[in-house]
Amino acid sequence: MKKLLFLAAFIPSSITLSAQKNLPWKNKKCAVSLTYDDALNVHLDNVIPLLDSLKLRGTFYLSTFFPGFYNRIEDWKKVARANRHELGNHCIYHPCTGRIPGRDWVKPDQDLSTYTVQRMRDELRMNNVILKMLDGKIKRSFAYPCGDMKIGDSLYLDRKDFVSARGVEEKFLPINKIDLYNVGAFSVVGQTGEQLIEQVKYAMANNTYLVFLFHGVGGEHSLNVSLEAHRKLLLFLKKHEKEIWVAPFIDVTEYIQATLKK
Ligand SMILES: [Zn+2]
């Protein structure tokens, strides 16, 4: 007995810690999803090569009417075939509510306020069909274009069509407080790498889910982050992958669903 006690005193702290683990995100401190909207060329050219080199997986919300999708279908197919990254639904035409301040840029034909709920659901279902032709998958997650969830007073999403949906409210939430059809996300616009890392550290300290929402990465969109800041964030995530679960949005939200059912 004396001998055992003596040995216990010399067990490295890392082993003792791992034995005590009971952390909510696959035994890690937090979960992080990297989501990229609007089928931009920079996602194929800048983001995916970096993610692949680090063996990290991202989520790409595709509006299939955008040139970055239809001009580069073969490249998106390759992404799908490699089966590493998630292709998510972001509507075909990316309709947003035009009749609110600051939305002068919304084209009348793509104004969500002129849609019926049925038309929107049909568009979402057809976009799922298009994405299925690329990756063969039936389960899909969704990101609300412009964060608009309603047409008039009606929520338009038919939950049967999607596993989960990403909104745009900035919130850090623990696993049992997440609304799977309005998961929060932090838009990345001009932050430094250090600022993005601070957000991850907050999620780690509070055991929450953190979803990053990127548009431009090294250009191509007015909502942009520098290549350097993006790279710093990804290197930090890689370095701490024993503590941070980095996974596509659909993987994390399916895990949340399964955990809450237990
Ligand atoms: Zn969008």
| Cβ atoms of residues 131 and 250 within 8 Å | no
With 0-12 / 13-18 / 19 or more C-beta atoms within 10 angstroms meaning exposed / middle / buried, residue 222 is: exposed
Question: Which pLDDT score is estimated for 81?
Answer: 82
Domain membership of residue 68 as a residue range: 27-261
pLDDT at 11: 41
Question: Is pLDDT of 22 > 90?
Answer: no
Ligand 1 centroid–CA 10 distance in Å is: 54
Tens of pLDDT along 124-154?
A: 999 999 999 999 999 999 999 999 999 999 9
What is the 40 CA–ligand 1 centroid distance (Å)?
10
Ligand 1 centroid distance, CA of 12 (Å)? 48
CA 150 to ligand 1 centroid distance, Å = 15
Whole-number pLDDT of residue 84: 83
CATH number for the domain harbouring residue 137? 3.20.20.370
In a domain, 14, yes or no: no
Distance 95 CA to ligand 1 centre (A): 9
What pLDDT is attached to residue 12? Answer: 43
Decide if pLDDT at 106 tops 60.
yes
The answer as to whether 19 is a domain residue is: no
- Count how many domains the chain has: 1
